[in-house]
Amino acid sequence: MSLLIIGTLAFDDIETPAGRAANEIGGSAAYAALAASFSTPAAIVAIVGEDFPKDTLEQLRSRNIDLSGVEHAKGASFRWAGRYHENLNLRDTLDTQLNVLTQFKAELPPALRDSEVVFLGNIDPDLQLSVLRQLNRPRLVGLDTMNYWLESARPAVLRVLERIDLLIINDEEARLLSGQHNIVKAARAILRLGPKRLLIKRGEYGVLAFGDESIFAMPAYPLEEVFDPTGAGDTFAGGCMGFLAREKGNLSGTPMRRAIAHGSVMASLVVERFGLRRLWELAPADIEARRQAFLRLTDFHGA
Ligand code: AMP
């Protein structure tokens, strides 16, 4: 099954302890779709301005990513700037320019309305809801959101949460959403809001999964050098959702755990270079080698 992704296509200005990059192509939809494209065909619903490079769009198409849902508008594309601390789990947003995003309607071309597996990436929750309403028979819906929306549009976020299957957010967002500091209590409170499963991303500490009969944990891969954590969250989500789409949206124990492992593998790779660069150059053998490394990392020789 293919994966429909709504999110941003962006220019990012990034500063990390390892260096800086300006006008780097990014955006939640770009990371998620490229990561997913190693598992399944993907489609992007997003908006770009006149400045967005045609050859990037062409490259995305060449990866089996359908861009029929990408709107082209007059004006500048969405732009974001961020700076990471020495502790890479900490990031300051220096600038967010919505630009053409303010005109985005997220209207799906008829062919995409039959999509069954959908990732509603980080964007205005009213747009996420509007995409949901246009779908004929969604089977698995994943969602990401962020502090910005939890603070400025909480009622809309709560409305989307009632209608989704899988919520993928970070620990800070989980605390903000639930009002609970303890992560297990936070998870329990969030699951009462609607989602069947909840994945809490904890940066370099990995991921916790809730909503199954037991809690599942996957570490992040301990890398000696992280160049740029930008997009790690979206890459995790795209990798995970792409894997689940290939499993026909099955959220039960083993496919879910493998999807989480696959998302973690993809996220551990994307941070090795700036922006999307590592995802562009990635070969299936690199993914398999990192998967093997994860297996060795997490094998405690239990029964
Ligand atoms: P992540 O590091 O996974 O949180 O994602 C970083 C990506 O999200 C960057 O490529 C940004 O362009 C994009 N981004 C930043 N802020 C927003 C926002 N408010 N809405 C949508 N996408 C955003």
Q: Average pLDDT over the chain, rounded to whole? A: 96
Looking at residue 249, its pLDDT comes to 85
Looking at residue 148, its pLDDT comes to 87
Look at residue 35 and give its three-state secondary structure: helix
Closest CA to 58 of 12, 25, 91: 25
- 59 Cβ closer than 6 Å to some ligand 1 atom: no
Q: For residue 74, what are the contacts with CB-CB under 8 A and spacing of at least 6? A: 49, 50, 100
Q: Is the pLDDT of residue 13 over 80?
A: yes
Q: How far is ligand 1, taken at its centre, from the CA of residue 31, in Å?
A: 10
Give per-residue pLDDT as tens, 45-95: 999 999 999 999 999 999 999 999 999 999 999 999 999 999 998 999 999
- 121 Cβ closer than 6 Å to some ligand 1 atom: no
Closest CA to 53 of 70, 69, 41, 36: 70
Closest CA to 197 of 115, 264, 140: 140
Q: How far is ligand 1, taken at its centre, from the CA of residue 300, in Å?
A: 36
Look at residue 37 and give its three-state secondary structure: coil
pTM: 0.97
Residue 267 corresponds to which amino acid?
A: A
By the 8 A CB rule, do 293 and 240 touch? Answer: no
Q: Is the dihedral of CA 188, 190, 192, 197 positive or negative?
A: negative
Residue nearest atom 19 of ligand 1, based on CA coordinates: 123
Give per-residue pLDDT as tens, 97-155: 999 999 999 999 999 999 999 999 999 999 999 999 999 999 999 999 999 899 999 99
Q: What is the mean pLDDT of residues 211-229?
A: 93
Q: Is the pLDDT of residue 212 over 90?
A: no
Looking at residue 110, its pLDDT comes to 97
With cut-offs at 50, 70 and 90, classify the pLDDT of residue 156: very high
- 206 Cβ closer than 6 Å to some ligand 1 atom: no
- Measured distance CA(278)–CA(231) in Å, rounded: 11
Q: For residue 279, what are the contacts with CB-CB under 8 A and spacing of at least 6? A: 31, 34, 35, 235, 266, 269, 270
Phi, psi dihedrals of residue 280, rounded to the nearest 5°: -65, -40
Task: Using most ligand atoms within 8 A of CB, pick from 5, 6, 9, 28 the residue to mutate for ligand 1.
Answer: 28
Give per-residue pLDDT as tens, 253-262: 899 999 999 9
By the 8 A CB rule, do 33 and 65 touch? Answer: yes
Looking at residue 27, its pLDDT comes to 97
Q: What is the mean pLDDT of residues 153-171?
A: 97
Indicate the helix (H) or strand (E) that contains 22.
strand 19-26
- 26 Cβ closer than 6 Å to some ligand 1 atom: yes
Residues shown for the chain: 303
Give per-residue pLDDT as tens, 237-276: 999 999 999 999 888 889 999 999 999 999 999 999 999 9
140 half-sphere exposure, CB direction, 13 A CA radius: 23
Q: Is the pLDDT of residue 303 over 80?
A: no
- 203 Cβ closer than 6 Å to some ligand 1 atom: no
Looking at residue 251, its pLDDT comes to 86
Q: How far is ligand 1, taken at its centre, from the CA of residue 302, in Å?
A: 39
Give per-residue pLDDT as tens, 49-62: 999 999 999 999 99
Q: How many CB atoms lie within 10 A of CB 251?
A: 17
Look at residue 140 and give its three-state secondary structure: strand
- 205 Cβ closer than 6 Å to some ligand 1 atom: no
Looking at residue 243, its pLDDT comes to 98
